[in-house]
Amino acid sequence: MKTIGKIAPLLLALHAVSPQVLADEFSDVYRSYQQAWESGNHIDARSFADKAYVLGEAKFGKDSVDYANLGLNLAKALRKDNSGDFAVNRQRATEIATLSLTSYEARFGENAADLIEPLIVLGDVTEDSKTAKNAYQRALKLAKASGKADLLAYTRMNAYKRLSRTEYYTSAVYGYIRDAHEYFVENHPANSAVRLEATYMLAGAHMGNGKYQKAEPLFLEVIEQYKIFDYAHPYALGAHSRLVELYERMGKSDLSTEHCIAIGSMKPWDDNQEQTPLFRKNPEYPMELVRRGKSGWAEISFTVDEMGMVRDPKVLDSEGGKGFEKASMEALSAWRYAPKFEDGKPVKAESSVRLDFRVER
């Protein structure tokens, strides 16, 4: 691997360092990695994980499980860090996770439950959907054979999380999150982090399959449980956001309003950036312009009122004809946003958006 090859000079230098100095340096670097990872600083986490991986080879040896664990940490950090080349990061993460899995197999055998975690990491970091599917199928088989119900539920939930985003999303994968959720409900308290994660995922799965009546109470449950926190948990924000979309699709705009307002109170409004709609209706491409193969765009300014509704849209600029302006204005009238908050209350705010229309040739 070219990327790993670049650190070879450092590895050679490490052999001249005393064991105690090496141990102290490794401890400092690894501690910094843990702190960065736990705080969500993915750029620093990746940097420190990389350094720990280099130091770990000299400290533990290339064939040790400790070194393999450092590889899994680095693979996950590479997957999370979006500051570099995405494709290069994913490829390197896949290669390192594969090496770590091989070390686990050499230590524990190919049928040990110990392989589940490295298989999950490999499935998560690889960009190749088939590799992810194979890794998770193997992890699920090992989890079932282990006889550990909690481990099986955890593996099913993660398998759903990864495979639901691929061409291998089937009714069986849908069943993974249903089964995992059922287990966590029966065996974990209502405010358990893993149970709430499964609840959020199952709600999303139901919604994706058009089962809005099943999704609604699950999203509401997630919101209720996270009310105990004094910060905006991503799943609580996500549940509010999905309910806005759900209610708009059900034609219940009045119910989506409270969730638009809730998100506005949880997330600061940034006047310097384009606001992201919680629900958007795509504009209809004017048929006459489609037939003529004409592309264009329309830039619209508007007011987001205290309920997150679009008011007073005005055309700022456009290209391609009035048809694009009209289609953009009609679509925007159905969009919903999180309103701006000032002094704890929702207020009106100005925003704008550009809608592009392109004919594929």
- pLDDT exceeds 60 at position 172: yes
Q: Which residues contact 249 (CB under 8 A, 6 or more apart)?
A: 212
Nearest Cα residue to 29 out of 10, 4, 9: 10
- pLDDT exceeds 50 at position 2: no
Nearest Cα residue to 173 out of 164, 183, 182: 164
Helix locations, the chain, DSSP H: 2-5, 8-14, 19-39, 42-60, 65-80, 86-108, 116-125, 129-146, 149-163, 171-187, 193-208, 212-225, 234-249, 253-266, 287-291, 322-332
Query: Could you read off the pLDDT of 206-260 as tens digits, one per residue?
Result: 999 999 999 999 999 999 999 888 778 899 999 999 999 999 999 999 999 999 9
Share of the chain above pLDDT 70, in %: 94
Contact of 333 with 306, CB cutoff 8 Å: no
Instruction: State the average pLDDT over residues 148-157.
Output: 98
CA distance 202 to 199: 5
Return the bridge partners of 340, or none.
Answer: 347
CA distance 330 to 128: 40
- pLDDT exceeds 60 at position 12: no
Residue 230 pLDDT: 73
pTM: 0.85
Instruction: State the average pLDDT over residues 269-280.
Output: 89
